[in-house]
Structure 1
Amino acid sequence: MAKHTHWRDSKAWLDAGLPLSSTSNEACKLYDAALTQYVGWYDEPSVGGLEVTLGKLEKTDESFIMGRVISNGLELLGTGTNIDLSSDLKIGIDEMVRIATVSDISQREQQHVTAIKLFSEGYQKKACETWERILVEHPTDMLALKFAHDSYFYLGESNQIRDSIARVMPYWQNTMPLSSYLHGMYAFGLEETNLYAQAEQEARLGLELNPNDSWATHSMAHVLEMNGRSIEGIQFMSSTESNWNICGMIACHNYWHWALYCIENADYQKALEIYDHQVQQRTLDSSAPLDMVDAASLLYRLEMEGVSVGKERWQKIFDVTKPHLDDHTLVFNDIHYLMAALGANQNDIVNRFKESTTDFIKKKKGDQRNIMNEVGVVMFEAFQAYDDGDFSKAVETMLPVKYQVINIGGSHAQRDVFNQFLIQAALKSDQKQHHKISKMFVNRAEIIKRVHTTYRSTYSPSDGSSCGLTTSYDHIWG
């Protein structure tokens, strides 16, 4: 990746129709540097990386409101903490609001402050609505676009992941900074709404414009996954590895996709190799929630395939997730933390985790609280029943919320672990009716395969499940 050395100053932002309320040219440039690294999922060495950039930004102009917005927003969207857990974050957001109150800032900047405040209080959907209002008047505001894009992902809002980008694309010109990244973002939305051919076209265009666009790589990986093109997926990830593995913020997740292809080809040894050398190591190094959930998901999928991953691997991931068991920033995260606790046989921790979840529902407000109450606690009960060997209870508990699982967020590919979980539980149940249920789920995949010639075709079920299974169940049904 070529070193980026030219950043937009105050006049450049004004000329772009996105004036910044700062008297410091250096602050405006650092804001551009932070935004560029966020969108590109990488650390720019010429400015010391994203974390260093944000630190310099605050010191350069402490009253620069958009510097406060991007810093607080990234802390929140990282999902590693919240204002109840971090006094520094709460103070930072309160100070942002105070500065906005006493400063002469634009309506657009004030709306950004409002959105971050709403998000911090648990109202992610309202924050998205605020960012969308910004985009109506300022469709080239990349920060509003990217914050909304990531938040829709957390909420499982597939249509909005796609449409939020589609609505603004006509206003972007190819000469505008960061414009090439829109193709990878749009590709992801298209893929999540089952428009695979269009998604592939957009992802490839994004990569033609910028081979280092790791989100476009990620979108392409999803297309190949959902189309059942695992051999092609392995070839794609391996041949482009040097382009995307330098984007440290998402490299672990792209390796996760590579490992999925290996699992689908029953190459469990290669999947474990990728896990050990990339996914696990990057998770231990970063302690980032996105990496933690990928690690837990891979181990759980391998175990369901009959692969014994060993207690040491589970223990290492549990040790990383343990400090976050009371965070409850995302239900999606919590379910994966539960996997890690179960995998490491931490039964006492699991019980305390469930108590913490109950407390979270009683005392908090907001979108994640509601999702946990409606879907999360049911999934917790199902996973614990499965771990206890009560597979019948796991099926009966999970089945009623099967089509609500999408509400916990994540992608179709990520949530497929829950479809596989339900099938496995049904197969292991002592009730013959459950065996029939599992066969019906696989029958659906077989019908799709027959009609569209591939397991993952141009159609995808509305529950976000993939259309193929790596394990043969013929010995169960005869």
Structure 2
Amino acid sequence: MLKDHYGNLISTSSREAQSNYDRAVHLFLGANFGAVEGFTNATTADPNFAIAHAGKARALMMTGDMPAAKAALAQAQACAAHSSPREKAHINLFALMLSGKAVEAREAVRAHVREYPRDALAAQLCSNVFGLIGFSGKVGREAELLAYTTALMPHYGDDWWMTSMHALSLCETGQIDLSLTMMEQSLATNPRNANASHFKAHAQYEAGATEDGRAYLTGWLEDYDDRGVLHGHLSWHVALWALQQGDETAMWKAIDTRVGPDGAKGLPINVLTDTAAILYRAELAGVEVTASRWKSLSDYAAQCFPETGQSFADLHAALSHAMAGEGDRLANITDTAKGYAGDLIKPMAAAWGQIARSDWTGALDSLIPVMAHTERLGGSRAQRDLLELSYANVLMKLGKTDEAQRSLSTRRPVLADAPPLAITQ
């Protein structure tokens, strides 16, 4: 048996399969386009290479092609008889994911990495704010993510992927300087690690480095394939910084060509959440957003997320429906909200509807029980600033300006000095 890049035994004797597998893992962990092709090449070189079929399934999941992902996983399971115990367990992790058993998958990953800590493609499932810990809906999930990457770090040394994952955990728990240092280390080893460029943008956002962050990410994106899974979301960061600098032309160009449904090539959850967030943050900052934009996004949300269950998507779908005046769609979310933070989605959906109707007193009542537990909804601090700013805006609409300022100063100091809210200007 050969070994992969991380030293794990793999059930193939084909050097070509091994090489293509390692390349595919490298591309996947760096959020670069081409992982599906790499895993396909590995299985072409060795059709019985079960874990490569599983890798292809995982890569297809990140393109949103779930039928093809399930077919690739079925092929992995069919070939798994002669695989090692690690590989069989690895394949089972993806089977749990694809069957929607997120809680079981999260616990299985934890157990797996204790025994096989350098199984990076498996460890990846619980890393990042969009992973199984990030979308757990649990209080303290940011600290849990930091504990997870902290435990794995000694097994990876200066590996560029794990360094960037740990740097994000540090960033989301407020350790910005150390996060930036580690991000630079990751990028020095692999400058085209899109995860590191993304997380560097988060750290720069948290540091209030708007000008430097926008310049850095704009330049980095020039050489990033627009089919890469993070292309649209990185463009959202650029659009957000353009908004903060008052460059509406650049903001709308990014939204229309790289972030929104008409231009982005990424996952529907990113297209929906990023577009809804930037549109409403633009409105909060005093930028006019046409009704047609909200209607188009509401239609997209209804098409891609017709049923509730993915709370982070439901949060932004509800916002889109409320701002578009689609009461029936909004009511469906309010009535059927489920998933890891479904109990928070119901009051948030009510709040968005009240905000759309300028019922500021009702909106405040709906928001208050949510604001203590916003981390449960998922996403990064930068993404959840949508809620922080909405809450502050509602307070100011009610004449509670001092309370709004205290809220931002204590909860999100990075926004407090110059809140991007039109009512303060």
TM, length-normalised to structure 2: 0.86
1:305 maps to a residue whose letter is A
Task: Point out the more displaced range, 300-309 or 346-355.
Answer: 346-355
The share of aligned pairs that are identical, in percent, is 21
- Count of residue correspondences: 419
Q: Which residue of 2 aligns with 1:299?
A: 279
CA offset digits 1:297-339 (Å, max 9, x no partner): 1111112222112233334434433322225452101222222
- Cα distance in structure 2, aligned partners of 1:56 and 1:312: 44
1:140 counterpart = 2:110: no
Q: Which residue of 1 aligns with 2:375?
A: 406
1:443 counterpart = 2:423: no
- Cα distance in structure 2, aligned partners of 1:404 and 1:331: 13
2:390 maps to a residue whose letter is F
1:212 counterpart = 2:210: no
Contact residue 77 and residue 151 of structure 1 kept, 8 A: no
Contact residue 323 and residue 353 of structure 2 kept, 8 A: no
Residue ranges of structure 2 left out of the alignment (5+ in a row): none
Q: 1:190 to 1:317 in 2, by over 3 A?
A: same
Q: Which residue of 2 aligns with 1:424?
A: 393
Cα offset for 1:214? 1.6
SS of match in other structure, 2:419: coil
CA offset digits 1:119-147 (Å, max 9, x no partner): 34444243223222222232221112212
- Cα distance in structure 2, aligned partners of 1:282 and 1:237: 22
Within 5 A, what are the aligned runs for 1:322-361?
Answer: 322-328=302-308, 330-355=310-335, 357-358=336-337, 361=338
1:249 counterpart = 2:229: yes
Q: Which residue of 1 aligns with 2:212?
A: 232
Residue ranges of structure 1 left out of the alignment (5+ in a row): 1-9, 44-48, 362-368, 430-434, 450-454, 457-464
Contact residue 214 and residue 250 of structure 1 kept, 8 A: yes
1:106 pairs with one of 84, 87, 99: 84
Q: Which residue of 2 aligns with 1:129?
A: 107
Q: Which residue of 1 aligns with 2:2?
A: 11
Contact residue 35 and residue 59 of structure 2 kept, 8 A: no
Contact residue 14 and residue 46 of structure 2 kept, 8 A: yes
1:154 maps to a residue whose letter is F
Within 5 A, what are the aligned runs for 1:144-159?
Answer: 144-149=122-127, 150-155=131-136, 157-159=141-143
Contact residue 234 and residue 262 of structure 1 kept, 8 A: yes
1:184 maps to a residue whose letter is S
Cα offset for 1:222? 0.8
- Cα distance in structure 2, aligned partners of 1:292 and 1:422: 21
Contact residue 287 and residue 320 of structure 1 kept, 8 A: no
- Cα distance in structure 2, aligned partners of 1:353 and 1:420: 22
Q: Which residue of 1 aligns with 2:348?
A: 379
Within 5 A, what are the aligned runs for 1:450-465?
Answer: 455-456=413-414
Q: 1:375 to 1:353 in 2, by over 3 A?
A: closer
TM, length-normalised to structure 1: 0.77
SS of match in other structure, 2:222: helix
Contact residue 117 and residue 152 of structure 2 kept, 8 A: yes
Cα offset for 1:198? 0.4
Q: Which residue of 1 aligns with 2:52?
A: 67
- Cα distance in structure 1, aligned partners of 2:305 and 2:111: 34
Q: 1:283 to 1:182 in 2, by over 3 A?
A: farther
Q: Which residue of 2 aligns with 1:50?
A: 35
Cα offset for 1:263? 2.2
2:341 maps to a residue whose letter is I
- Cα distance in structure 2, aligned partners of 1:209 and 1:91: 35
Q: 1:153 to 1:327 in 2, by over 3 A?
A: same
1:265 counterpart = 2:249: no
1:128 maps to a residue whose letter is R
2:24 pairs with one of 30, 34, 41: 34
Q: 1:51 to 1:99 in 2, by over 3 A?
A: closer
1:420 maps to a residue whose letter is L
Structure 1 runs (4+) deviating above 6 angstroms are none
Q: 1:76 to 1:447 in 2, by over 3 A?
A: closer
CA offset digits 1:178-213 (Å, max 9, x no partner): x22222222111100100110010111122222212
Cα offset for 1:283? 4.5
Q: 1:370 to 1:186 in 2, by over 3 A?
A: closer
